[in-house]
Amino acid sequence: MASPKVFILRAPGSNCDMETHFAFEKAGARPERIHILQLRENPSLLKQFQILVIPGGFTYGDDVAAGKILASQLTHFLQSELRAFRDSEKLILGVCNGFQVLLKAGLILQPDQDGPVATLAHNTSGKFETRWVHLEVRPDNCPFLAGISSLFVPTAHGEGRFVSREEWMLDGLEKSGRVVLRYVNPQGKLDGFPHNPNGSQGNIAGLCDPSGRVLGLMPHPERHVLPTQHPSWTRNGLQKEGEGFAIFKNAVKYFE
Amino acid sequence: MIWEIEIQPKDSDLEKCRVNKDFHLLTPGVKVKDPITSASKGLLVSGEISGEQIQKLVTELLVDPVVESCTINKLGNLPVGEGTNDPCLATVLLKPGVMDPTALSIIQAGQDLKVPVVSVRSFRRYFGAPLASNEKDVLFRRVLANDAIEMVVEGPINQKHVAEGVPYLFKKIVVPIRDLSHEELEKLSRQMSLSLNREEMITIQEHYRKVGKDPNDIELETIAQTWSEHCSHKTLKGRVDFDGKIYNNLLKETIFEATRFLREKAGKEDWCVSVFEDNAGVIKFDENFHLCFKVETHNRPSAIEPYGGANTGIGGVIRDPMGTGLGAKPVCNTDIFCFAPPDTLASTLPDGILHPLKIMTGVVSGVRDYGNRMGIPTVNGAVCFHNRYLGNPLVFCGTAGLIPVDKAVKKPLAGDFVVAVGGRTGRDGIHGATFSSAELNSDSEKVSGGAVQIGNAIEEKKVLDAVLKARDLGLYNSITDCGAGGFSSAVGEMGEHLGASIQLDQAPLKYAGLSYTEIWISESQERMILSVPKENLAKLKEVCKWEGVEAVELGVFENTGRLKLFYQGSEVGDIDLDFLHNGRPKQVRKAAWKTPTESSSNPSAPANQNLGETLLKLLSSLNICSKEWIIRQYDHEVQGGSVIKPLVGILEEGPSDASVVMPVLGATKGFAVGCGLLPDYGDLDPYAMAACAIDEAVRNVVAVGADPSRIAILDNFCWGNTDRPEVLGSLVMAAEACKDFAIAYQMPFISGKDSLKNEFHAKGKSIVIPPTLLISAIGIVQDVRQCVTMDMKKAGNKLFLVGRLTENIGGSQYAKVLQLTGGVVPKPDAKEAIDIHKAMHRAITALTVRSCHDVSEGGLAVTVAEMAFAGGIGADIHGLNTLGNIPFASMLFAEPPTCYVVEVEPQKVEQFQAIFKGLPVHEIGTTCVEKRLRFVGPTGEWVLWTSLEDLRKAWLSTLKF
């Protein structure tokens, strides 16, 4: 069985690194949590790893805008190493704050001559909210999501509303199979608040890059790895494992 | 060079909406149009920065072009407000020296981009048509800015507005006190904001006469901090004369005594590790970890600046487990708030009081922004409304932490460095400890500005990451947090049995201008003090460096019994630690209690009330209605340990009795956290109130699966001014109940805190809070897979009532919604109650229980209603008539202690009933498919018949902002 090494990138304010570590370890990978200051000191560290994860949290307090400062650091100090990492058939995952970082660093959607093509803005409700959501999964070429058709996982964020610069860009993303995760209601249909918890355009919950190997999503699969994490296990009984765990198993399996 | 960058939102203008909403709230009955037509935010960035560089900073960091646009100007130009035709009304800036986390982040990020940013100030700006002066006053003073921390600038911002402090010129200040009269001593205490009384000042005077010199200002300040009510609990630990019964130390003879008794009785089975001595109480969890738990209040600051007060309240209590033993990892938070009703008419507010809705929204977001950023799940809480919290809202914040069993004990050694780790020291929170020990009045918001602060959660998160790493490497001998009193308390307490010498000029400062005394007593947040052996100092600094945290040695601990303070080589203070910690004169206070006559019989309810209407009224009342609006703003899932969540049921909106956390992922052991708080009982019967609060906290955790033989409890007393005998008397009654019931239930108190003098005085008007005792419970859950929730699970199951109903409705929510006053307060039966709780636990672990909900505010009817709509399952309640001679409405709505409603599958009924043999348990109904709730009345007819949707809507609709 493969046991890829996972680089969990910490920065001041990261706070989902422990449960992300747990999820990868449980899936058979070898995770390490490493601080951005250490990576900046020695960018070649990345070469020893197969999976890079930017976990959830409030890096740098989300001051300025969520994920923006860490994104700026990645762009300025680690641009070439990150592109080399991605282009060598390795995997990159950004969850919640990690998605905000990846998107704002241009690692999922390449900026054009007019600047960034999309962002994650403040929720329509104007506030941070914690809520379990149903996701429709269209894996396309994204190895993290292979074989998954739906997920039930929690969200917890204040800035998760996907906004594209122009309406037609959204169509382009959908047609090219980049919209791999969408918020739906329990019946599996596109719906408004609270099923779409933040007012995202096109109900977008997660996106991948053209290669499929870079995935960013607002919901937290690492918070639904164990059956006791399900919000209604006392009603419906304990499942074998949490629904989000499939993503971590897929990531490990990719390296078999 | 100062650049002014103004950023406008391209899509929805949330700030504009907030401001207009708040403005209309504060000008009720006045028909005015929205004062604000647009809002923007911005930054003042200073440094030797070129136009090209500022453009780079804006493009790459400060503005998100998809949703924002911006204008860049040099300071002093008139604000333009892109896209708006209205003039700029005002710009709001933080006052100099107030913590601005965004500014700190931008300075750092700017340097990364090679833009030489020296300082940053953030601002908010508002546009709209010019206003009449009275409207302007409301808008500026009460909506746009909080005078305690912010300033409003009309017209362009200039250099003057952004000036930082002036440099400090060292001058040692001696305060002559040896020759002062008693009156002059009292006056001095007031002038220096020492909050020391005459007797204490005389004791200090005598001490310095003996020493043969006058004290320096820093010595007086240190004594004032250490002797403050906030730090020393002189009332509760002092002598009390309660109608002739003498307590030499009230706490020691009631609450501590219960714990001492229980620990002694437990002998080898004692599962307390450290109680009432460290920053948090510590109990055993499993073979690898102990659990620690602490609940604090932050009432005064939250009254003046709700956001900052609550923000630093949660930030402060998180540092308690961090500073317990050699440092615990926080695993969950709990927040309990007491407010005046949010629909209070603005025109009825006394001067100097913020509107309760403003306080509530500020407090909720203050706790949210700190707790969420720390990555600690907020799993439990309560919100309680009462008119008398108008002047003094209460904010309780608690944190539980996990500590390795070999890290629970600490001891600083002589020769260790005194190391400050974390945030820099500024002028924030000077006199916080003495301020929080005084009453509030209409001037408090003006004079106490310095005591109010904003936190910086990310600094604390960095400190936490660094401290846990250093702990595991064994780099220090002791740790404590800087709370009230700042360095003076932290160093003074840690070095209590040693002595220390401190170089105050070594402390890293936020800005120039602090005097040596200000450095010593500043309550700047996010700082810890570590006691570090010489050989580990370099390694500790290295660990901190990699987490981006400052660590600086301030001095050394030494075996002198004295606290020696130096500034730039000169000695500025030399304090005898024995006098500091043991010299305070014991307070003697009188206490008295007279049982109010109105609490001896129950008021009669209207005979023909519509029971269905009463039920809906109760469900939508402030104290019972859903708190989902608040709960969802808190991340209760982070760390992945939540097993039973605060919201449960088919739509995840039912009110869980308590939350269960599994702190070690992958293991099956957990703990439950719950609370009890019944201020409506307090005036009538403080003894019963305390007993019921303990019972409620216990019921909450037992109902989800905690083991009653492994429950520890915490007390937080918030009372009025205990200088008045009747106020102290009610506190003594409550403390006695705490002792009696802790012993009867065999549940030790492990930590506690009090906040006295919660009174507001202005223009002859006084508002005294109701006696408020918060009991928090933490209970071990041996196997989290056996936990149950309160939502009904399936039609066709049997419903049981465990416990005895009561006719007593004194202080109940039922009495409150019917506007009935007085009445007998129910009281648990100390002997039977613990047997019921234990049997309830056996029934849960025997897997005979499908759902379980404790009966609390609103009584049996509210309990069953909540279970039904949370589960989307109907219920018929037909078994109440055999339950004794109690008015039927009281059966439904009184608040009997020690009661649970339990759903049992038909095939488990026999086993379930056998567990309760000899205890009160009655089948009262069945669950059904039809989505409605019905009760059979005394005449055998259905007297209450309501659809689940009506119940649910009533419960959900009240609190939404």
Model confidence over B285-311: pLDDT tens digits? 999 999 999 999 999 889 988 998 999
Would you call the peptide bond into A194 cis, given omega within 30 degrees of 0 as the criterion? yes
Q: Which of B110-114, B599-603, B654-658: highest mean pLDDT?
A: B654-658
From the list A15, A72, A128, which residue is nearest B461 (CB)? Answer: A15
State yes or no: pLDDT of A61 exceeds 60.
yes
Q: Which of B175, B267, B171 is nearest to B216 (CA)?
A: B175
Measured CA to CA, the distance from residue B388 to residue B401 in angstroms comes to 33
Find the helix or strand (DSSP H, E) in which B154 lies.
Answer: none
B-chain residues near A26 (CB < 8 A): 666
Put simply, the answer to whether B635 touches A220 (Cβ < 8 Å) is no
- Over residues B192-220, the mean pLDDT reads 93
Give the tokens for residue A192. Answer: 């408004």
Put simply, the answer to whether A225 touches B640 (Cβ < 8 Å) is yes
Measured CA to CA, the distance from residue A163 to residue B626 in angstroms comes to 32
Chosen for mutation from A59, A64, A161, A173 (greatest number of chain B CBs closer than 10 Å) is A64
State yes or no: pLDDT of B608 exceeds 60.
yes
Go through chain B and tell me how many residues it has: 961
Count A/B contacts: CB-CB distance under 8 Å. Answer: 176
ipTM: 0.96
Q: Which pLDDT score, from 0 to 100, does residue B652 have? A: 94
Residue type, B428: D
- Chain B's closest residue to A76, CA to CA, is B113
- Over residues B544-571, the mean pLDDT reads 95
Model confidence over B735-776: pLDDT tens digits? 999 999 999 999 999 999 999 889 998 877 889 999 999 999
State yes or no: pLDDT of A196 exceeds 50.
yes
CB hemisphere CA count around B404 (13 angstroms): 10
Residue B431 pLDDT grade (very low, low, confident, very high; cuts 50, 70, 90): low
- Over residues B63-76, the mean pLDDT reads 89
> Which residues, in sequence order, are CB contacts of B192 under 8 Å at separation 6+?
B175, B217, B220, B221, B224
Model confidence over B136-150: pLDDT tens digits? 888 887 788 877 788
Measured CA to CA, the distance from residue B767 to residue B773 in angstroms comes to 18
Put simply, the answer to whether B14 touches A126 (Cβ < 8 Å) is yes
DSSP structural state of residue B678:
-
Residue pair B501/B416 in contact by the 8 Å Cβ criterion: no
State yes or no: pLDDT of B406 exceeds 60.
yes
Measured CA to CA, the distance from residue B887 to residue B411 in angstroms comes to 60
Measured CA to CA, the distance from residue B904 to residue B922 in angstroms comes to 12
Measured CA to CA, the distance from residue B841 to residue B854 in angstroms comes to 13
Angle, helices B356-374 vs B457-472, to 10°: value is: 40
Distance, in angstroms, between B317 CA and closest chain A CA?
Answer: 18
Residue pair B158/B76 in contact by the 8 Å Cβ criterion: yes
- Over residues A27-55, the mean pLDDT reads 96
Burial of residue B233 (CB within 10 Å: 0-12, 13-18, 19+) is middle
Annotated catalytic sites of B, by residue?
230, 298
- Over residues B380-407, the mean pLDDT reads 96
Residue pair A85/A41 in contact by the 8 Å Cβ criterion: no
B-chain residues near A133 (CB < 8 A): none
B-chain residues near A185 (CB < 8 A): none
From the list B61, B457, B666, which residue is nearest A72 (CB)? Answer: B61
- Chain A's closest residue to B17, CA to CA, is A126
Find the helix or strand (DSSP H, E) in which A121 lies.
Answer: strand A118-121
- Over residues B910-937, the mean pLDDT reads 97
Distance, in angstroms, between B797 CA and closest chain A CA?
Answer: 14
- Chain B's closest residue to A73, CA to CA, is B112
Residue B395 pLDDT grade (very low, low, confident, very high; cuts 50, 70, 90): very high
Model confidence over B665-699: pLDDT tens digits? 999 999 999 999 999 999 999 999 999 999 999 99
Q: Which pLDDT score, from 0 to 100, does residue B447 have? A: 47
Measured CA to CA, the distance from residue B291 to residue B289 in angstroms comes to 7
Of the residues A19, A136, A159, A222, which is catalytic?
A: A222
Q: Which pLDDT score, from 0 to 100, does residue B537 have? A: 97
- Over residues B839-853, the mean pLDDT reads 98
Q: Which pLDDT score, from 0 to 100, does residue B139 have? A: 85
- Over residues B111-115, the mean pLDDT reads 90
| Residue A220 among the catalytic residues | yes
Residues 183-202, chain A, touching B (beta carbon < 8 A)? none
Residue B433 pLDDT grade (very low, low, confident, very high; cuts 50, 70, 90): low
Residue with tokens 């216990």: B698
- Over residues B584-613, the mean pLDDT reads 91
Put simply, the answer to whether A156 touches B17 (Cβ < 8 Å) is no
- Chain B's closest residue to A228, CA to CA, is B643
A93 reaches B (C-beta below 8 A)? no
Residue pair B83/B16 in contact by the 8 Å Cβ criterion: no
State yes or no: pLDDT of B222 exceeds 90.
yes
Higher pLDDT, A64 or B387: B387
State yes or no: pLDDT of B450 exceeds 60.
no
When the pLDDT of each residue in chain B is averaged and rounded to a whole number, the result is: 92
Q: Which of A121, A70, A120, A60 is nearest to B103 (CA)?
A: A60
Residue B446 pLDDT grade (very low, low, confident, very high; cuts 50, 70, 90): very low
Measured CA to CA, the distance from residue B769 to residue B720 in angstroms comes to 6
Distance, in angstroms, between A173 CA and closest chain B CA?
Answer: 16
Residue B393 pLDDT grade (very low, low, confident, very high; cuts 50, 70, 90): very high
Residue with tokens 């620990």: B263
Percent of chain B with pLDDT over 90: 75
Q: Which pLDDT score, from 0 to 100, does residue B444 have? A: 52
Q: Which of B183-197, B590-604, B732-746: highest mean pLDDT?
A: B732-746
Note the pTM of the prediction, 2 decimals: 0.95
Other beta carbons within 10 angstroms of residue A194's beta carbon come to: 17
B113 reaches A (C-beta below 8 A)? yes
State yes or no: pLDDT of B616 exceeds 80.
yes
